[in-house]
Structure 1
Amino acid sequence: MPRRDMLLAALVASLWGFNFVVIAWGMSGIPPLLFVAIRFSVVAAVALVIPRPQTGWKVVVGVGLFMCLGQFGLLYTSMALGLQPGLAALLLQAQVVFTIVIAAVALRERPTAMQVTGVVLGCLGLAIVALGRGGEAPAVAVLLALAAALSWGIGNVISRQAGDVRGVGRGGALSLTVWSALVVPIPAIALSLVIEGPAAVGAGLASFGWTATLSTLYTAVLCTVVGYAIFNGLLARNPSAAVVPWVLLAPVVAMASAAALLGQVPTPAETLGGAILVVGVLVTGIRRRRVRAPRPARRPRRREVSAAVGG
């Protein structure tokens, strides 16, 4: 991958990693489900200038419900309950493990030996994180973050089952992301009213200041629209195996920025478990190359023999 593309990949991973700290800043005093509704209302507005993805509405709705509403509704709620941004970013990487398992069941995709090894390592890492979590990481918040990763994995399988969205790398995946955001605002507001209550929603809207506005713009515009546009361009120019591993920088950036700006230093067990989880995710992407047998030398024809000997 060219150096320019490597820098762009690192930029996207940094945007996505710092996103977790920005969410924690902006969500202060704002109910999490209401915050999700506002974020995806901004993303959905971009659908006015981006063509609809050439796939069925069933896929758009499925991706919107699981990859957008389910993932971020559960993630934001877990962070509102006290889950640290760095640990949240790390636990979301479990989506790779969930995606492989769900695809094996739903799509009959037989996992490779390396993928099975990666799943085992990922589960081991998650177990270490869960058992060694710090006192500021409630068990319910950890479970909600894992549920967010599971929802993301289901969304991945829905997208995978639908096949390739035409134009991936040239706006196809970005258009699916933007148009699936149309599914989020109304259900998110309805859930916010039911779960968080009308009083909390009213108070959240009243206290929606500059910090929440800047956080929303960062997550909606920089992370979703700009981030995916750059990432899809990288996938269009380079092999996916060279691009996707850069995403693993996101939890590293999230944990480093949370430690530097919020004073949230992970416990040794969280660091160890997170490292094992990241290794497991890397292992799932390793593919064994098939060694092709060399072709037998082609025997020259008679005319070629005669020419060779000058006949």
Structure 2
Amino acid sequence: MQEETVAPQMRDTARITALIYLTVTGIALIALLLVGLSPWEAVNHAMSVASTGGFSTRTASAGGFESVSVEIALTVLMLASGVSYVIWWRLVTGRGLGIHTVELRSYVLFVIAIGILLAIGARGSDAPGNVFDGIFTAASITTGTGFTTADPDLWGEEARLLVLLATASGAMVGSTTGGFKVRRWLTIFGGIRAEIQRQIAPQRIVVVRIGRKPITDDAVRAAFGFMAVAFVALVMGTALLAGCGFDLLSAFSGSLACLFNVGPALGQLGGLESYSEVPDSGLLGLSFLMLLGRLELFTILALFTRGLWRAR
């Protein structure tokens, strides 16, 4: 993946990244204090939402506050945390969005669309909760934060499919989120479109673009390679959990949620459930999936190649 940095030097990039993270955390802390959280809970949830970690001081996660104002604040903060740090830096320094306009628009529109559809599902079901639970769930799952306020399993089969789509999507490259990332999907769709055009007109030179930005062939191959490795890891994780006695939906969604660092899954591993029933062998496999996804797949797989160790 082609990825823009906030500064040319690694030290400057690390410094600016830390500054943006601390700023986001500070804004989150103030917002959560304003909606009524205690200082202890506000600090914990501010750090959790800024890093899209999803850990909560409440057993029922964000739903334990039973406050729409808290849910609204967390939703906005989760969406903001899913935005690339490069964008925040460019906006602060007055440089505009640059090449990130299409990615940001796609990210926002995707969350809105999933949120509206989930809200419709929540309203049409007999499950307890409110319409905003659907929007909250869309933001939480897409950004990989993993806060929960309701159980999407109770909203019907369509809601389950939407949750899986949100889990597989991820937010923006350059944010604190895990997942596949929007830019990879844009690159893959662009690569598929370009290949179709080549099949129609073999002599035509087709360039994959995101907006007006051309994407190199290496970046396209990397995106497809990432998808292939993710698919293999997902199949292996699903087989492992199925072998541990979980139904196919739980096994698949649990593996997907761990690989893309989301947390809540569906079925026996749903948002209001936990992974405590997974045996040690399954937990070991899921731990590897989480590490694999957090380090962008290829980084951890490179450790198992002889070429890396020979080079040293």
Q: TM-score, normalised by structure 1?
A: 0.34
Higher relative helix content: 1
Structure number with the bigger relative contact order (C-alpha 8 A, sep ≥ 6) is: 1
Rg larger in structure = 1
